[in-house]
Structures are given as structure tokens and as C-alpha cells.
Structure 1
């Protein structure tokens, strides 16, 4: 069933489209035949490595099914899979995306040695003891007390911010950028915005300057912090 796997050229290279209604056995056979024909054509002209995007349409492929595709490609020295793309997502992935878009209110104590990980933005009302750590995927709005480590944009997003008073923190982090604070730090107040500037260095501003610091975020909240 040749039509179960179809080759398509794109601006970025090559894509193989798998029929999402076809039997898996037919797809594997069709894919193997397609790669064999392509191998014969390319080796006869200009043999060179080719990486393919695999489009699975509305069928969600399991890890085992994806492994089977990789196994077929392993028999073709010049060909490899760049990525496998589906038009549907798992329940776990949809939950993660919804969490990333949410603002979580956290009012708890994070004690020495404890680590708390949260996706999405966080409004923090609690207490982080020295040695405690809060790692947040989005932005953090601090109305509580921070004496430990606090990170926005976990693990490596530098477009996130920490807003609020964290002058007592041991360390502030945004993405992979961090700074160790001490008692002499005078840059942070209750209206502080901590962000990564164009030089990829942690910088400090004020809430009233948020429009200049991060116009995209400012517009997202409707300019309500405009001073």
C-alpha cells in the first residue's frame, strides 16, 4: 500500500506523510518501500544524508510505534528521522500546556532542603526559608517572603520575570542566569522587576517601567501596571 507513506518536499527539506487511517502494517511496509526507492535514486545520482520530518496526522503514535519507525530507518545509512509530528497531543501534554498558561497561587512554607517545581506563572504568598527553592516555569509575582532560592523561567527561559521584593533571597535566577544576593543589595524593592536584558545578564527595574522592560508582557496584562 504505497499511499500509506508519501514523500513531500518542503522549504526546509523532506517530509513523509503517513496515512492516519491506514493499518500500521501497511504503513511500515509502505515506508520501507518508499525509502528503498529513494535510496536507489539518490545513490545513483548524488548520495548524501537526508533527515526527514514524519507527519502522522490525527493518529497519536505510541513510543513503541515510534521505535518501529526508527528501526526501519536504521536499515538505511543515509536516512534519518529529524522529528515525528502529530496533529494531536496526549492528555499529559495538554495538561502541561494548560498549567503553563495558568497563574498558580502558592501560599505555603518551603523549608530548608525542599524544592518546589511549578509550571506556568505563580503568585507567591508564602515563605521560602533559607535553603528552600522555588522553581517556576513562567513569571513569579512575589508578595510573600523569600530567604532561599527563587527562579522564574525554569529551566532555561530568559523572557520571564520576577516581580516583587526578594532582597532577602539567597539567589535569584531567570532561565540559566543567576545572581547571589547579600545584605548590602539595594537594587530590589517591593516594586522591583528582575529580568534578563539584551546582553543576557540579570537586570533590575521598577514596575512602572514594565512597558519598556517587556512590552509583550505589558500588553498581555492590558497595561494595568502603567504608572
Structure 2
């Protein structure tokens, strides 16, 4: 039988084994052939445990199926699955990814005492007044005056940025970094952005245009915002 027609292909790498599964075959067929291949192995109990990466291709498997594979490969064979690598994801994961990667456009003024929160990137067309607060798990873009608090990367994303047409915030936060008002010019600054400088290990303020160089992963839409 030629390798390309096999349900299971096993290759050794410097990091362990890679187990490639034909995504056109049924899961039962996968288990059957895998059991046959593993029966050829007779490891010693003192042999080191070999890490295995399972490449699923265009196949999605649930937790129960993952457990079946783990038990079949198992430590008695001196193998341990370290990673399931699939080109598809569950619907719930896809929805969460979409929420995290979407940019939400809001047209309003965030007044004192109000909090505007968003999952993903936030584009606010309006002002954040003193005492107001905007929070996003992604980037924060404000087409207006930022005079309150802005928190980007609220779930820990240190690559997130904050940009505003006019920046005189009472506080900037990116992930767990905080920068307070005394760091800024008394009269505020126009068309500036805040981001974490890894070398200085703090939030810095710079011209909006530097984002094109410092944050190359910004989407096309976000780049149009930055570049006007």
C-alpha cells in the first residue's frame, strides 16, 4: 500500500513523533488502523516517553474522541499526545475568534461615570469625558477627545494600542500596564497613540503614524483609521 493511501502516517521529528490522519476516513477506521500500527511497537518500560503531535487536517474531533486517541496511544506505549493540530475549529471557538477579531463601531459620548466595554477592537466616534471609561480586549481607537480612562488589551494583549484624535487621558491602560496623566503634556496631544514599548517596559506616547511600523499586524481597516 502506498503511503498516500494510508489512513495513518507516522513520521519522526527532532521533537518526537508526528501522526498524520487522513481526514477522508471515518474515525472508527482511524482507530482501527492506529491500533494495528501501535501493536507493532514493543517499548520497554524504562524507555523515555515520546511526545506526539496529531495532525487532523480538515477534521474536527470532540473531547471524547481526543480521549479515545490518548488512551489508545497511551503511556503504556511510551507515547504522550502533546498537541492536536486541526485546520478546523468548533463553532463556539469560531464565534469567539470572530468576536475577538471584529472591530465594533460606536457613535456616542462616554460621559463621567459611564463605562463602555467591548470584546475585540473598539472604534469610538465621540469623546470620552473626564470620569468616563472605555475598555476593549483589543485595540481602542477614538475619533474624538480622550480625557477619561482607556483600557486596551484588557484580557492581557500587550500588543494592543490606544489611539485618539486628541489625547489628554486621566489614565491609559494596556494589558496590566498603567500610565497616568502626569506622563502627558499639560495641554494634551493631537493624533497620537499609546502602546507598550518592550525595551522601556512601559506605555509610551508617539505619533499615530508609528503604528504602521511598530504594529504590522494591524488589519487593513485599522490601518486606514491610523493613516486617515
TM-score (norm 1): 0.72
Match of 1:21 among 4, 21, 24: 24
C-alpha deviation, 1:146, in angstroms: 5.2
Cα 1:33–1:177 shift into 2, 3 Å: farther
Task: Please tell me whether residue 30 in structure 1 is matched to residue 33 in structure 2.
Answer: yes
What pairs up with 1:79-90 in 2 under 5 angstroms?
79-90=79-90
8 Å Cα contact 2:131-2:148 kept in structure 1: yes
C-alpha deviation, 1:134, in angstroms: 0.9
Q: Distance in 2 between matches of 1:217 and 1:78?
A: 44
In terms of mean alpha carbon deviation, does 55-64 or 122-131 score higher? 122-131
Report the RMSD for the aligned CA atoms in angstroms: 3.7
8 Å Cα contact 1:192-1:204 kept in structure 2: yes
Q: Which residue of 1 aligns with 2:103?
A: 103
TM-score (norm 2): 0.72
How many residue pairs get aligned? The number is 217
8 Å Cα contact 2:58-2:87 kept in structure 1: yes
Relative to its length, the structure with more strand (as a share) is 2
- Structure 2 regions of 5+ residues with no counterpart? 1-5
Q: Which residue of 2 aligns with 1:118?
A: 119
- Structure 1 regions of 5+ residues with no counterpart? none
C-alpha deviation, 1:222, in angstroms: 6.8
Q: Which residue of 1 aligns with 2:3?
A: none
Q: Distance in 2 between matches of 1:151 and 1:177?
A: 9
